[in-house]
């Protein structure tokens, strides 16, 4: 389930816990229509508290397509996934490959801690 959806000064922080459904993952797309989305520099998607992600490969391809479209409005985003579970990491890697195949304008990183993600975005200031 989504635990946190928080706008920060230069980005967006999403945190999921427990069993995450594809519907919950798609809910984050609502952030793409916010005016402030056009000015952010990063999105952190913290999946370190998630025990599983129930999302099909076709849903991952669709999510990547939505991100590709959003990157046309703001191509300056670094998308950082925080993942510790190996099965979830495989899903994120699949998403990343599909987003890159769709010519997404964002950098996509996978890290193992929120601290590492925060370290990455500290270079934006």
The answer as to whether 118 is a domain residue is: no
Per-residue pLDDT 10s for the chain (125 aa) are 778 999 999 999 999 999 998 888 878 867 777 889 999 999 999 999 999 998 888 887 787 887 878 888 888 999 999 999 999 999 999 888 878 776 777 889 999 999 999 999 998 76
CATH number reported for the structural domain that contains residue 39 in this entry? 3.30.750.24
The answer as to whether 119 is a domain residue is: no
The answer as to whether 116 is a domain residue is: no
Indicate the pTM of the whole model: 0.90
The answer as to whether 45 is a domain residue is: yes
List Cβ neighbours of 73 (8 Å cut-off, separation of 6 or more).
Answer: 32, 37, 38
Buried b (16+ CB within 10 A) or exposed e, 114-124: eeebeebbeee
The answer as to whether 123 is a domain residue is: no
From CA 78, how far away is CA 121, in angstroms rounded? 8
The answer as to whether 30 is a domain residue is: yes
The answer as to whether 122 is a domain residue is: no
Asked if residue 93 lies in contact with residue 110, where contact means CB atoms within 8 angstroms, the answer is yes
Rg, C-alpha atoms of the chain: 13
Measured CA angle at 109 (ends 85, 76), to 5 deg: 145
Domain that holds residue 51: 2-109
Question: What is the total count of domains within the chain?
Answer: 1
The answer as to whether 12 is a domain residue is: yes
Spell out the alpha helix ranges (H) of 1-125.
Answer: 22-27, 57-73, 86-101, 114-122
């Amino acid at each position: 389930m989504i635990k946190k959806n928080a706008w920060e000064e230069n980005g967006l922080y999403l945190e999921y816990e427990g069993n995450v459904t594809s519907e919950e993952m798609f809910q984050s797309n609502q952030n793409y229509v916010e005016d402030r989305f056009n000015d952010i520099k990063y999105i952190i998607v913290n999946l370190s508290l998630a025990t599983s992600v129930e999302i099909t490969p076709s849903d991952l391809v669709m999510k990547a397509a939505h991100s590709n479209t959003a990157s046309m409005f703001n191509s300056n985003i670094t998308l950082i996934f925080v993942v510790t579970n190996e099965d979830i990491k495989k899903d994120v890697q699949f998403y990343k490959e599909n987003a890159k195949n769709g010519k997404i304008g964002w950098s996509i990183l996978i890290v193992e801690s929120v601290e590492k993600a925060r370290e990455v975005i500290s270079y934006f200031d």
